[in-house]
Amino acid sequence: MSEFIEANLMLVLSIIGLVLGFLVSVTEFVTKRKPLRFLFVIAILGLVVAVTYQVHEYNQKQIEAAAQKARDGIIDEININVQETKTIVASIAESLETTRLSEVATALVTIPTSGEARFEEAMEFAKGSPEMWHRYAEWLINFNGNGVAPSLSVTLNSRHHYKPGLLLAYLLTSKNTQNDVAAVMSDSSKWDSFDPVPLYLKNFEQDTKKIRWVLFYDGSERNLVGFADAEAFTRELMVYYRLGKHTEVERLLNQHSEQQVLALQKSFPSVQTAVFATRNPSDLVQAMIQQQLAFSVAAAGPKPYIVRLERMIQLAARDS
């Protein structure tokens, strides 16, 4: 009891003051012999209101003090967590300093980068497309690269002209769909009129002989500016195709703009622009954690690599 009085001295004194004021008023009423019932009611109501107000003010101050304490505690906890996160990130980065990129990433290979001399990328989506497709399909289906992923490159801001139906046919090419796609490729009138659904269902059965990633290059200097999971990009392109939005997609793929890849990203959520000009896993893991990236591409060197944050963290944890 004494501890409560010491902690809430102003509240106790205020209530005592109100009670004494009430008693003085009652005494005065009695002394003057005025009608007491109405005056008693008024005095009691006044006392109740005054005490309630004091208690309310006290509770508000207590709530505000508790809230401020909680806010201070949250800020302190955030600061602690930030420091701990920085320490953990630094530890992960340090453990990967001597790690080779090939240990935590997968090389992305296209026909030109795999040394396929017979394939002319400039003709891939030009008049020679059917012929180029047969070479492309042969390369893809016979692809035996170990630790590498077959990829299809799309060059933006170039003289290539991409037709959505033709691009979709390339993306849907696999061991399972080779014969069906060949029938489409043999007749250019079918490039924008074929039904992609059966090919899509066949393509994404259990089959390793298919494209894994799509790489977007800028045609001005052949810089890698974006990438997309092939299955996700194909699914998005197929939706536009089925909606009959060929013209809009074709215009988007073939427009000339410094920000074309960003415009493409707005229409295709699968397209990512996390491309880093480094081969150092230590630098990559720090950048990816900071930017909250599950995937990125390391574009320095002769071949780009797809990097998974989870894989780097697992390797760092194993070696720690």
pLDDT tens column, 233-247: 999 998 998 888 888
Q: Spell out the residues 6+ positions from residue 117 whose beta carbon is closer than 8 angstroms to its own.
A: none
Encode pLDDT of 46-56 as tens digits.
655 565 666 66
The share of the chain scoring above pLDDT 90, in percent, equals: 17
Total Cβ atoms within 10 A of residue 237: 24
What is the mean predicted confidence (pLDDT) over 8-13?
Answer: 52
- pLDDT above 80 (res 25): no
- The answer to whether the Cα torsion of 10, 11, 16, 18 is positive or negative is positive
* Three-class SS state of 18: helix
The predicted structure's pLDDT at residue 311 = 85
The predicted structure's pLDDT at residue 47 = 58
* Alpha helical stretches, state H, 204-293: 230-242, 246-254, 260-267, 281-291
- pLDDT above 60 (res 11): no
CA–CA separation, 174 vs 17, rounded Å?
90
Which token pair is 180?
Answer: 């069906």
Contact 152/171 with Cβ under 8 angstroms? yes
The predicted structure's pLDDT at residue 69 = 62
What phi and psi values does residue 212 have, to the nearest 5 degrees?
-105, -35
How does the average pLDDT of the chain come out, rounded?
Answer: 76
Interior CA angle at 16 toward 14 and 22, to 5°? Answer: 105
Among the ranges given (19-23, 55-59, 254-258), the one the predictor scored with the smallest mean pLDDT = 19-23
The predicted structure's pLDDT at residue 212 = 93
Encode pLDDT of 91-104 as tens digits.
777 777 778 888 88
Angle between helices 129-141 and 178-185 (to 10 degrees): 170
Which token pair is 255?
Answer: 């427009």
Which token pair is 94?
Answer: 């340090």
Strand order in the sheet with 305-308: 223-229, 213-218, 148-156, 105-109, 305-308, 295-298, 275-276
* Three-class SS state of 276: strand
- pLDDT above 70 (res 209): yes
Q: Spell out the residues 6+ positions from residue 231 whose beta carbon is closer than 8 angstroms to its own.
A: 204
- pLDDT above 80 (res 75): no
Encode pLDDT of 270-305 as tens digits.
999 999 999 988 888 888 888 888 899 999 888 899
The pLDDT-based confidence of 150 (bands split at 50, 70, 90) is very high
The predicted structure's pLDDT at residue 213 = 95
SS (H, E, C) 44-86: HHHHHHHHHHHHHHHHHHHHHHHHHHHHHHHHHHHHHHHHHHH
CA–CA separation, 2 vs 313, rounded Å?
57
The overall pTM is greater than 0.85: no
The predicted structure's pLDDT at residue 232 = 93
The predicted structure's pLDDT at residue 59 = 65
CA–CA separation, 226 vs 12, rounded Å?
70
Per the document, the length of the chain is 320
Which token pair is 99?
Answer: 């790690």
- pLDDT above 70 (res 128): no
The pLDDT-based confidence of 9 (bands split at 50, 70, 90) is very low
The predicted structure's pLDDT at residue 108 = 93
The number of C-alpha atoms within 13 Å of 36 and in the hemisphere containing its C-beta is 9
In Å, what is the CA distance from 169 to each residue of 182, 214, 311? 9, 14, 32
The predicted structure's pLDDT at residue 97 = 78
The predicted structure's pLDDT at residue 6 = 46
- The answer to whether the Cα torsion of 235, 239, 244, 247 is positive or negative is negative
- pLDDT above 50 (res 224): yes
The pLDDT-based confidence of 4 (bands split at 50, 70, 90) is very low
Contact 226/264 with Cβ under 8 angstroms? yes
CA–CA separation, 143 vs 140, rounded Å?
5
The predicted structure's pLDDT at residue 292 = 86
The pLDDT-based confidence of 307 (bands split at 50, 70, 90) is very high
